[in-house]
Amino acid sequence: MYVLLMFLNVSFTNNTPELSSAFRVGELSPEICSSERYDSLNMRFVGNWPFGPSCAIAVDSTRDIVFCNSGGGVYILDVSDLSNPVKLSEIRTRGMVRGLFYESSTERLYIAAQENGLEIWNVADSGNPEKLGSCDTPGWAYGVDVVGNYAYVSDYASDLRVIDISSPENPEEVSYFIGEFGAACDIEISGNYAFVANGHAGLQVIDISTPSNPTDEGYLDTPGSANGIAIAGSYAYVADWLEGLRVIDISTPSNPTEVGSCHTPGFARDVAVSGNYAFVTDGVEGLSIIDISTPETPVEVDSLDIPDDAHDVVVSGNYAFIAHWRDAGFRIIDISTPEDPEEIGYYNTTRSIAYDVEVKGNYAYIADNSYGLAVIDISIPSNPTEVGFYDTPGYARDLEISGDYAYVADADSGLRVIDISTPENPEEIGFYDTPGRAWDVAVSGDYAYVADDGSGLRVIDISTPEDPTEVGFYDTPGYARNLDIFGDYAYVADDDSGLRVINISNPSSPTEVGAYDTTGNVRDVAVSGNYAFMAYYSGLQIVDISTPEDPFEVGSYNATGSSAEGVLVSGDYVFLVDNSKFVRIIDVSTPEDPEEVGFYGTPGDGPNGVTLSGSYIYVASGNAGLQIYQNLLPGGSEESSNKEQILNLTQNLFMGTAEVQVNGANLPAVLDVYDVTGRIREKTIIYSSLPVTVGAFLKPGIYFVKVKGLNPVKILKLK
C-alpha cells in the first residue's frame, strides 16, 4: 500500500532548472535535487542571526578588506591596521558558508553557502553589501572559483556545477560533472581545467574548455582525504588531511602524477602557494610553511602554533590570513620571513555553537557553548541583532529565564546566575558548581533544578540569586540530560535509563516514585497535562503520567533516520528538533496517534533547542546560530492572503499514484516529492492546468509533495 501525504506550500523560485516529469527512485540523483531545501510545510523562514565558526576567507588587497565567514554569515573587515581589524558590515546567508571567492574587477563576492548553493553579493560599498542573486546546487556547496562569465562550484554531493553568472541577478546552472566518488571539497581553475580536491577520489581534473559540457580528463587517488588545493605553474598542491601536503605534476592533465610530499603533524586542511612556499593549515600544528622550490622534495621550514582547527588560508603579499574554526575568527600572520612567521592580528568574528534559546520580551537569550550567554534583539524578527553577551567559564548548554535572571547550565562549571535586567550588559552575580556536568536547568519558585550528567538531579535554592545553595539531590541511574518540572514532580530524561519521575514536594529530599524505560536513549522531555513528551533515539514517545508512580507509553512518532534532540509542547502541538536538521510540528491532539503536520529544514549542524513566542519559533541551530521561523498552522499566524487558490488532488488506489491539478494562474509551478528523510525523490514542472501524475516510480512509504508558488491551503492524506 502507498501512503502519500500531499503538502502544498511555499514560495516561488525562479532558479529551478526545467526537468522531465518523473524520475525513477534510486540513489539520490543530484540533477533532481531542489533549490528550495529550506521551504517546508506550514512554516516559513523569518530571519536569522547565523554567526558561528569560521572556515573560509577572501581578501581584497587593493581596499585592505578581508571577507571572513562566521557560521552562516560573512564579516567584512577593514584591515588597513593589521593589528586592529574593524568590522564594516556583515552578510547573512541561508546556508553555512564553506567557501569564498572575491572578484576584484567587479567587486563581487561569491559565496559557497553549503545547503543554499551559490550566492552572489555586490560588495562595492563595503559598508552596505547587496545580494544580487543565488543558484542552488544539489548537495553542499563547499568551494567556488570564477573565470569569465562562469562560476565553478565544488559541490560535496555532486562534484562540479557550472553556473552562468553573466547576469548576476539571475545565475543559472548550465552544466555539471558527476564522477564516481562524490565529496568534492575545494576547486581551482587553471586554463581549460577545473582541479577539484575530492575527499574520496583525491585530485580530479575536469576539462571545462566547453563550459556547457565538462568532461573527465583524469584523476589521481591521493593517499589521504583531499581537502584543499592550490595551483602554481605545472603543479597542484593538495592538502590531504592525515597525509599532509601532496605535490602533483599536472603538466599532462590527463595523467596527473605525484612527485613529492611533506607530512604535517595533524590534519592538512587547506593550502595556499606564494613564491617558493606552500602555506598549509594543519588541524594540530596550526600553520605549516613548506619550501617547495624543489617540488620533488618539499621541506617544512617552520610552523606557527595556532589553537586547534585552523581551516582556510589565503596569502596576500607578506601576510597569511587564516580562518579559524574553534575561536571563530581569523588570524593575520606576518610571513615576510617564512622561517619565522609571527601572528600580528586577530579578529573574533563570533562564537561557537548555539545549544539552547529562550525568549523574554524583545530579546532572545542563547546558550552558546564555549561563548556563554548571547543576547539578541528580536524586536525586528527578520533582522535579529546581538546587543550583549556574557562569557561563562564553562560550556553553556541550556538556560532558563526567570524574572531578571538567566540561569545557565554551564557543563563543568555548574549553574551560573546572570543578571539580565540590562540586556546590553548581562553580569554574573552568583553560581553553584555542581559535582558533574550541568546539562539542563528548570526554575520553579525559589528553586533551580539541574540535570547534572554524572550526578542526576540537583536541587538548588535560588531565593538569594547571589548565593545559590544546594539543598537536595537524587542520583539517577543513567546520565541526566534534561528535565521538566510539573507540579510536585521533576521528570528527568535520563540517557540510558529512560524517564525518571521524582517527587520534589520536599526539595531537600527528592525521591524517585516512578520510571519508564524508553526504547532508546532519551534526550529531552516536556510535560503537559497528563503526558510526558520525550525526544528519544528515533523520534517522539508519549507517556501517560496521570499516575506518576506508573507511567506508560500511549503513542509514538518515528522520525525515520533521525535522532530527536529536543522537544517543546504547546497546546495540541509538539515541536521536535532532530539531528537530521529538521524542526517538526507534531499534532498530539490524539496522543495515541500523533501526526506530523509541519516541518522545516534548518541549516548548520542540526537544531539543538527550540522555544516559542507568539507565532514565532526560535531555534538554536548549532553552528548556524539562531534561526527564526513562523508557524503557519491555524491559530499560529495570519491567514493565507490568497484563499482562492484551486488545488485538486486525486489518487489512483489501484496504481498507487496521485494526481495534482493546479490553478493556471499560478503556472508554471515546481512540484517536488520528498521522502521522510527530506530527500527529493521526484520533481516536475507543471506548465498547464492539466493533472500531473506523481508517485509512479516510488516505493511504498510516506512522501511529502510540495508545489512552489502556492500558499499553504490544505493537507490531504492519501492511502
How many structural domains is the chain composed of?
A: 3
For residues 285 and 338, membership in a common domain is answered with yes
Report yes or no on 70 lying in a domain: yes
Report yes or no on 12 lying in a domain: yes
How many angstroms separate the CA atoms of 383 and 667, rounded? 32
Residues (pLDDT < 70) of the chain are 1-39, 308, 326-328, 350-352, 519-520, 560-561, 635-657, 662-670, 672, 674-681, 685, 687-689, 697, 700-719
Report yes or no on 623 lying in a domain: no
Confidence (pLDDT) at 424: 97
Confidence (pLDDT) at 659: 73
Contact 126, 88 (CB under 8 A): yes
Confidence (pLDDT) at 322: 95
Residue 559 to residues 139, 329, 632, 638, Cα–Cα distance (Å): 22, 36, 21, 28
- Tell me the per-residue pLDDT of 125-173, one tens digit each, with 9 for 90 and over: 999 999 999 999 988 999 999 999 999 999 998 899 999 999 999 999 9
Confidence (pLDDT) at 258: 98
For residues 390 and 514, membership in a common domain is answered with yes
For residues 412 and 336, membership in a common domain is answered with no
User: End of a domain among 543, 572, 601?
Assistant: 572
Confidence (pLDDT) at 675: 60
User: End of a domain among 348, 379, 410?
Assistant: 348
Report yes or no on 458 lying in a domain: yes
How many angstroms separate the CA atoms of 630 and 593, rounded? 25
For residues 372 and 334, membership in a common domain is answered with no
The identity of residue 576, as a single letter, is L
Confidence (pLDDT) at 180: 80
**Main-chain phi, psi angles of 666, to 5 degrees:** -105, 10
Domain residues for the domain of 417 are: 356-572
For residues 435 and 336, membership in a common domain is answered with no
Cβ burial, residue 639 (10 Å; 0-12/13-18/19+): exposed
Confidence (pLDDT) at 101: 98
For residues 287 and 397, membership in a common domain is answered with no
β pairing state of 564-570 and 552-558: unpaired
Start-to-end C-alpha separation, the chain: 7
Report yes or no on 162 lying in a domain: yes
For residues 189 and 238, membership in a common domain is answered with yes
Report yes or no on 622 lying in a domain: no
User: End of a domain among 330, 348, 366?
Assistant: 348
Say what the pTM is. Answer: 0.80
For residues 365 and 503, membership in a common domain is answered with yes
For residues 272 and 374, membership in a common domain is answered with no
Report yes or no on 500 lying in a domain: yes
Confidence (pLDDT) at 153: 98
What's the CATH number where 12 sits? Answer: 2.60.40
Confidence (pLDDT) at 666: 54
For residues 130 and 205, membership in a common domain is answered with yes
For residues 343 and 376, membership in a common domain is answered with no
Report yes or no on 468 lying in a domain: yes
Residue 328 to residues 136, 249, 351, 501, Cα–Cα distance (Å): 26, 35, 6, 40
